[in-house]
Amino acid sequence: MAKEVKVTPEQLIAVYQNQRALLDSIRQQTQTMQAYLQEVVMASDALKEISESSEKNRVLFSVGAGMFIDVQLLDNNNVKSDIGGGAFKEVSIKKAMNMLDDRAEEIKKALKKLSLQEKKAIASLKQIEEALAKFQQSLQQESVNKGVS
């Protein structure tokens, strides 16, 4: 048998605010992960183009803020991969692309988890809203009943 728990409107509002903050956090994390996924996909696409070009080929390289420089490609088989702490390791473009594919899959899994968390938070918010609406209706009914008495 289910145990009935009495909750005050103030407690419901506090839980609602917590769930709302959680939902906002989940959505912010989702946006961050989507931006990171886009960056990974763009890097993978760039590596594919580099691997298919010939050495000594000239390419435009983005330095940020819409600025590009013309550079000559010296090696279309290897790239430098950041291993942390300002250190880099040379890896083949094929291996780098595999690393990026793995990262993309991890990000997609994380996005699926975030999507489930978002759905749960939304469902929880709806339940709280319904409970608050019922409480408000009961207060209105009590007010009407007092006015009739």
pLDDT digits (tens, 9 = 90+) for 66-76: 999 988 888 88
**pTM (predicted TM-score):** 0.78
Instruction: Please tell me the number of Cα atoms within 13 Å of 95 on its side-chain side.
Output: 9
**Structural domains of the chain ordered from first start:** 13-121 (1.10.287.370)
- Round to whole Å and give the CA distance between 143 and 118: 37
Confidence of residue 148 (pLDDT cuts 50, 70, 90): low
Pairwise CA distance, residues 72 & 108, whole Å? 34
CB contact set of 105 (below 8 Å; sequence gap of 6+): none
**In this model, does residue 149 exceed pLDDT 60?**
no
